[in-house]
Amino acid sequence: MDKMLSVWKTVPKEGLELKDAPVPKIKDDQVLIKVKATSICGTDVHIYNWDEWAQNRVGKNIPYIFGHEVSGEVVEAGKNAKGVAIGDHVSAETHISCGYCYQCKTGNEHICQNVKILGVDTQGTFAEYVALPCRNAWVNDKKLPHWVATVQEPLGNAVHTVFDGEITGKTVAIFGMGPIGVCAVGVCKAAGAEKIIAIDTHPSRLKFAKDFGADVIIQDGSPEAQAKVQKQIMDETNGLGTDVFLEFAGSPAAMKNGLATLKAGGRASILGIFPKPFEMDVTNDIVFKGIRIGGITGRKMFDTWYKTKSLLPKIGLERLITHRFRLSEVEKGFDVLKRKKGMKVVLEP
Q: Among all residues, which ones are annotated catalytic? A: 43, 46
155 — phi, psi (to 5°)?
A: -60, -40
Taking the C-alpha atoms of 261, 294, 196 and 173 in order, what is their torsion angle to the nearest 10 degrees? Answer: 30
CA distance 27 to 275: 37
Taking a C-beta distance cutoff of 8 angstroms, is the pair 37, 72 a contact?
yes
Q: Helix, strand or coil for residue 280?
A: coil
> DSSP assignment, residue 210?
H
CA distance 9 to 16: 5
Taking a C-beta distance cutoff of 8 angstroms, is the pair 138, 315 a contact?
no
CA distance 125 to 128: 8
CA distance 263 to 267: 9
Amino acid at 186: G
Taking a C-beta distance cutoff of 8 angstroms, is the pair 170, 244 a contact?
yes
